[in-house]
Structure 1
Amino acid sequence: MLDAAAVRRLAATCVQALDAHKDAINRINVYPVADGDTGANMLATMRAGLDALLRAPAAERSGAGQALSVLAKGALTGARGNSGVLLSQLLRGMAEAVRDESEVDGEGLAAALARGSDLAAAALSDPVEGTMLTVLHAAASAASGVHTGDLHDVAVAAVNASADALSRTPRQLPQLAEAGVVDAGGRGAVVVLESLLSVVADEPIGMSALIAPQRTPESLVTAREAGSEKYSYEVMYLIDGADEQGAVRLRDTLSGLGDCVSVAGDGDGLWTVHVHCNDIGAAIEVGVETGRPHRITVARFADEPVAASPRFGTDRAVVVAGRGEGLAELARAEGATVLVVDESADAYALLQLIGSTGAAQVTVLPAGADLTELADEAAIRAVAGGQDVVVVPCASPVQALAALAVHDVRRTASDDVVGMAEAAAAMRRGDVTVATEDAMSWVGRVAAGDVLGFTDGEVVLIEPGPADEEAVTRAACAVVDRMLAAGGELVTVLLGAGAPEGLADELEDFLRRERPEAELAVYPGGQPDTVLAIGVE
């Protein structure tokens, strides 16, 4: 059983082990930035926890649950960097799982590790596989799979699984594979778990009162542990008096100000906040709006010049959110920043991309009617963080390209947005798709496998399946012919991932015969949801 004395030995052992491994962990710190301070940050965080535990009155740390709570709060208060925040959340989760227990058995330890892993994962706005989180999750899963209830068996399973997960991290992150190292934060997590096993196995340790270091003038400059080099400062503070909803709003707003955002709590009203940003005042102000911030620390990154960088590095940027690598290449060639939307893309991913432009004014072009809501949500969050963001509705990727084609930085921002909006609206749109299920339409019954022609979002023709090259070509030519009947000089076509190989040539031959006055431009779009997207202007 783990009692309060064992928890104190665990804290001291972790400090000693992290101190011994600090330099080795720092040397392999290559992801996401090779700044070499993960070991130092984890050591400083655990030292702060041990300091709190040693200074707490005996009555407040008499049981294992109480001791873990004091240790977790101390670590949270002194957390350094993202790796330190994750370590504090591991300890907080362990404390929450056994809060009222005077002693902890194998089942309790398994539950504690599971809760700690969950809270660590929840602390980051953008968790990544192949990191410290992966190692903690593997350890917790293995511990939960031990059914003997034996404390030693659980600790052994956790250590073995964590070491195995650590060895696989280079296969999960290309940066680690290229450098030939494992993840630094993951290695620190294994050191902590090995310290736990050492205490459980009752191996001799040397207890010493290691006190957390005080803040010095040198600490006003810090190494960059992670994140974009566009942000010059690390801001950290504690907040009292915030609830869960307030913490979520705080995390959302900070995500619009910078990156490496974490808002982690101790479960009892205290939260630690961490962000890399340029606007220090805004990062602190949102904390004031959320609760009562204190112990505010600001450090300039060591790789930044002494003079503070401006919050925005450029005046304007255009961001395109759409499907298909071909569309992305076309948009990038026009100078846009692109989010390739897949099943995992969400408003947070688009928000991070908007922030990464470093632009004061951002125009977002959602290349599809169903992407407008995602763009609107990301824009609202970015505006709350201080950026001027405007969404130009584009119901089709061809409309997004039309808007991008008239983007002109020589105009005022407002005139440029108006010009892009007018260009998108002037582009008439059509689509050719393959029906995936039976349905009814304005022009008749649709069977799965039929080829459908759309203009401006409405079904205008049905070409009976199967959707072979001939059926798709007939539908494409018919849609283009219908659209040109209302006038037009330029037909733009984006070929989808499922477009037949000879479709572009067939369209060109058709227009040469039937509509020689119209010019055709065909591009590989790669969009998975349509066979081709058509624009006429």
Structure 2
Amino acid sequence: MHTKVAANALAMKRWLGKAETALGNHSDRLNAINIFPVADGDTGTNLYLTVRAAARSLVLREDQPAPVDVGEVLSMAGQAAMEEARGNSGTLFSVFLCAAAEPLAGHTRLTSTLLSAALNRAQIRAWSALSDPVPGTMLSVMEAAARAAAAVDAGQDGDDSNHALGLALDAAVEAALAAVIHTEEQLDALQSAHVVDAGGVGMLLILDCLRSAVLGEELQSELLDGLHGYDVSDPHIHASMPDDDGVEVMCTISLSPLNAATLRQRLDEIGESVIMSQVGNGPDAEGNYRWRVHVHVPDAGPAVGIIRSLGEPSQISISELSLPRDPDAVNTGGHER
């Protein structure tokens, strides 16, 4: 039985702090097996930097009262993560976090039912943020965790006890692990390289950090034992892959719903890995919503031109998809997007 449960707003802050530390410790190994959607060896770095932004947004000034609303805490963290999201994995985690906050708004304590609702909302939003979502990635891990938590909650018949919450968290992490293992069979690139998906492993770590923070238990280090490509310390696996041509373009922009749909369609026509997610909950005075945009394209010029034709972007970043094949350089500097 779980006896140290603390499922409040402070636990959510602890969760993201633990996730920042865990991803910092594992970023090099995650980078090493990052070969999908492009073999650029930066998933660990991108997830770490994005989660770090979320965690640090919750550091309070001395004169600030600690928030008690679980949803408010995660919403603050999610917005900060979205503003500084890096790469596919960081952007999808930001979407996940923002969406998970919504069913928790107004609640001061996490329950099995609320966890189930939050995970389900988060995985649906993450799948829908991508124009062309692919199974065998962190999306599949999010979905598996949500389904497992929902199954446990359904069997508890509305039980809002800490025990029921502990069972749901255990099931979510166990299902996430199974989904990570399954990623290797779902994507040809992973199967050829004999590795599991880097983003999926990162999501597994994040979910185990949630379990640890809420239940007051240690992280389950044995979760990663035996994962293909993860339990070795040889050079970065992505280093043997062909260089990926093109660039990644990211920005934040205010658009009407119609212009947002137009932007997605036009970026789909010229690029891949298109992710668009709303930043914030409501429109401005002109009816525009803020969006975080991510796309891989052969050349930045046309993509930036399309974006600028529809609005005035901010926080534009353009990064080469191909990287120097020096593991030490990746480990120390990362490929910050």
TM-score, normalization by structure 1: 0.50
Q: Which residue of 2 aligns with 1:161?
A: 175
Contact 1:171 1:177 in 2 (8 A): yes
User: Is 1:51 aligned to residue 71 of structure 2?
Assistant: no
Q: Which residue of 1 aligns with 2:16?
A: 11
Query: After superposition, what is the alpha-carbon deviation per residue over 1:436-485, rounded to whole angstroms, capped at 9, x for unaligned?
Result: xxxxxxxxxxxxxxxxxxxxxxxxxxxxxxxxxxxxxxxxxxxxxxxxxx
Give the alignment partner of residue 67 of structure 1, picking from 29, 52, 73.
73
User: Letter of the aligned partner of 2:189 in structure 1?
Assistant: Q
User: Is 1:25 aligned to residue 30 of structure 2?
Assistant: yes
User: Is 1:123 aligned to residue 153 of structure 2?
Assistant: no
Contact 1:259 1:275 in 2 (8 A): yes
Relative distance call for 1:20 and 1:280 in structure 2 (3 A) is same
**1:362-377 correspondence runs (5 A):** none
CA distance, structure 2, for counterparts of residue 247 and residue 25 of structure 1 = 32
Q: Which residue of 2 aligns with 1:253?
A: 266
Give the alignment partner of residue 194 of structure 1, picking from 188, 203, 208.
208
Offset of residue 244 of structure 1: 3.3
Give the alignment partner of residue 102 of structure 2, picking from 96, 100, 104.
96
Larger Rg: 1
CA distance, structure 2, for counterparts of residue 173 and residue 184 of structure 1 = 12
Contact 2:244 2:321 in 1 (8 A): no
User: Letter of the aligned partner of 1:177 in structure 2?
Assistant: Q
Offset of residue 200 of structure 1: 1.5
SS at match of 2:249: strand
Contact 1:259 1:276 in 2 (8 A): yes
Relative distance call for 1:118 and 1:27 in structure 2 (3 A) is same
User: Letter of the aligned partner of 1:284 in structure 2?
Assistant: V
Larger % of helix: which?
A: 2
Q: Which residue of 2 aligns with 1:341?
A: none
Q: Quick one: higher RCO (CA 8 Å, sep 6+), 1 or 2?
A: 2
- Figure out how many residues of one structure are paired with residues of the other and give that number: 284
Larger % of strand: which?
A: 1
CA distance, structure 1, for counterparts of residue 311 and residue 75 of structure 2 = 22
User: Letter of the aligned partner of 2:185 in structure 1?
Assistant: R
Select between 262-271 and 118-127 the one with higher mean Cα deviation: 262-271
Relative distance call for 1:276 and 1:152 in structure 2 (3 A) is same
Offset of residue 204 of structure 1: 6.7
User: Is 1:37 aligned to residue 42 of structure 2?
Assistant: yes
SS at match of 1:20: helix
Contact 1:14 1:191 in 2 (8 A): yes
Relative distance call for 1:175 and 1:95 in structure 2 (3 A) is same
CA distance, structure 2, for counterparts of residue 132 and residue 204 of structure 1 = 23
Q: Which residue of 1 aligns with 2:303?
A: 283
SS at match of 1:65: helix
CA distance, structure 2, for counterparts of residue 270 and residue 102 of structure 1 = 28
Q: C-alpha root-mean-square deviation of aligned residues, in Å?
A: 2.6
CA distance, structure 2, for counterparts of residue 284 and residue 135 of structure 1 = 32
Relative distance call for 1:167 and 1:302 in structure 2 (3 A) is closer
Offset of residue 227 of structure 1: 12
Q: Which segments of 5 or more consecutive residues in structure 2 lack a partner in the other structure?
A: 1-5, 220-237, 282-288, 325-337
Select between 24-33 and 67-76 the one with higher mean Cα deviation: 24-33
Contact 1:257 1:279 in 2 (8 A): no
CA distance, structure 2, for counterparts of residue 32 and residue 159 of structure 1 = 24
Relative distance call for 1:32 and 1:300 in structure 2 (3 A) is closer
Query: After superposition, what is the alpha-carbon deviation per residue over 1:211-249, rounded to whole angstroms, capped at 9, x for unaligned?
Result: xxxxxxxxxxxx99x999442x22111123x24333221
Give the alignment partner of residue 165 of structure 2, picking from 151, 173, 176.
151
CA distance, structure 1, for counterparts of residue 60 and residue 317 of structure 2 = 23
CA distance, structure 2, for counterparts of residue 198 and residue 40 of structure 1 = 22
Query: After superposition, what is the alpha-carbon deviation per residue over 1:372-400, rounded to whole angstroms, capped at 9, x for unaligned?
Result: xxxxxxxxxxxxxxxxxxxxxxxxxxxxx
CA distance, structure 2, for counterparts of residue 107 and residue 293 of structure 1 = 39
CA distance, structure 2, for counterparts of residue 107 and residue 26 of structure 1 = 35
Relative distance call for 1:246 and 1:97 in structure 2 (3 A) is farther
Relative distance call for 1:138 and 1:78 in structure 2 (3 A) is same
Relative distance call for 1:62 and 1:276 in structure 2 (3 A) is same
Contact 1:228 1:259 in 2 (8 A): no
Select between 158-167 and 169-178 the one with higher mean Cα deviation: 169-178
Give the alignment partner of residue 294 of structure 2, picking from 243, 268, 274.
274
Offset of residue 53 of structure 1: 2.0
